[in-house]
A = this chain, B = another copy of it.
Amino acid sequence: MTLVDRVLLGPGPSNPYPEATAALAAPLLGHLDPVFLGILDETCERLRTVWGTDNRRTLPLSGTGSIGMEAAFANTVRAGDPVVVAVNGLFGERMCEVAGRYGATVIRVDHEWGDPVDVERVLAAHPAPRLVGAVHAETSTGVRSDLAALGAALRERGGDTLLLADCVTSLAGIEVAVDDWGVDLAYSGTQKCLGVAPGLAPFTMSERAWERRVEHPPTWYLDLGLIGDYVSGSAGGGRTYHHTAPVAMIASLHAALGRVLAEGLPSVFERHAAAGRRLQEGLVELGLDLFAAEGHRLPELTTVRVPADVDSAQVRRRLLDEYGIEIGAGAGKYASTVWRIGLMGHNARLDRAELVLAALRRVLGR
């Protein structure tokens, strides 16, 4: 079969770090092999560093990013629990859907798509919800919300409310500081700024969330009590088999995290910032309008309006066919009026920014 080589500049997956790809093809290990268990322990430790947490329960879940959202709700929400969700894009919408399936009484706080989360409105929605959910980096709109402020406000109010953060498109691209911000539960995906193929959901859970967890959730596969006994060992010390870990994907994540931490998180963030800044400047130079609210734009994922006289799908098809470049359509009601351009992980580079700008310039005839 002829292999097809793409430059993946959509909302994910992005092209993996070379170390991540090499690790995928390394000799496979058993999921109970002492060498693999060492890699797993080190992966969890490296995840603690990028999450900015000491949480013991920090691990890669065996599914794609969405499984992290499901695990968070399944392990914390009981029927009738009030749950406040800040909705400013597709993934806030999805939080409402998933929380509802686990029986939560969902209180939506709707925002215009493209705007960041309004902390005051979220706080005003309910005096003491079981959980507040918000998206740090909305993959559907390219918007960054201030979760530090949300966490500080919740802590100031006091009470038992847990804070859940969707960090699918932020982790290892912009700063995430779970402990400093007072985030109790957070999940990500591997195929964005972490620079790994899709297939794992890095996850972290505070002691506070652990103490308030649902002890016997409907899901067996995502029962964090059972998974934790395999990943971190049980209270008695030993590891208990739960399900066969996706060893190749974990080895790949381990390698990518090694690369990221060797470069250093400040340098990784600056690389994302510089690439995104250049892309956003360049798009404006092309006469295009950025979609996300100014001052709240993610560097790693840029949203831009499709000009009124341009066929969105045709441009994307030409970029793919003529240049091998994938960019994303918009999400939801913006499917044909917004493009999403990601410069994430290994693609967070000035050359990628210039490449997509040059190709867009040619295809748009500007």
Chain A residues with CB under 8 Å of chain B are 3-6, 8, 10, 12-13, 15-16, 21-22, 24-33, 35, 62-67, 69-70, 74, 94, 97-98, 101-102, 189, 191, 197-199, 216-221, 242-249, 320, 326
Contacts and interface: CB of A to CB of B under 8 A. Distances in A.
Given A25-B24, A25-B25, A197-B247, A221 B70 contact: yes
Given A220-B97, A221-B67, A246 B24 contact: no
A6 B25 contact: no
B249 A199 contact: yes
A33 B21 contact: no
B6 A30 contact: yes
A198 to B, nearest CB: 5
B198 A199 contact: no
A243 B90 CA distance: 12
Given A198-B245, A199-B249, A62 B63 contact: yes
B4 A63 contact: no
Contact of A199 (B10, B248, B320): B248
18 contacts: A4-B29, A4-B35, A6-B33, A8-B28, A8-B29, A13-B247, A21-B25, A21-B28, A22-B25, A24-B24, A25-B25, A65-B243, A197-B248, A198-B244, A198-B245, A199-B248, A218-B218, A246-B249
Contacts of A198: 31, 244-248
The CB with the most chain B CB atoms within 10 A, among A6, A13, A70, A221, is that of A221
Contacts of A29: 4, 6, 8
Which secondary structure characterizes the binding site on chain A? loop
Nearest to A221: B70
Contacts of A65: 243-244
A148 B129 CA distance: 52
Contacts of A101: 216-220
A15 B28 contact: yes
Contact of A33 (B31, B191, B217, B320): B320
A119 B35 CA distance: 43
A12 to B, nearest CB: 6
A13 B25 contact: no
Given A62-B199, A189-B244, A197-B247, 16 more contacts: A4-B33, A5-B27, A6-B30, A13-B31, A13-B244, A15-B28, A22-B25, A24-B25, A62-B63, A65-B244, A67-B221, A70-B220, A101-B217, A101-B219, A218-B219, A249-B249
Nearest to A65: B244
Nearest to A15: B28
A66 B248 CA distance: 17
Contacts of A5: 27
Contact of A30 (B13, B199, B243, B245): B13
Contacts of A26: 3
A218 B199 CA distance: 22
Nearest to A68: B221
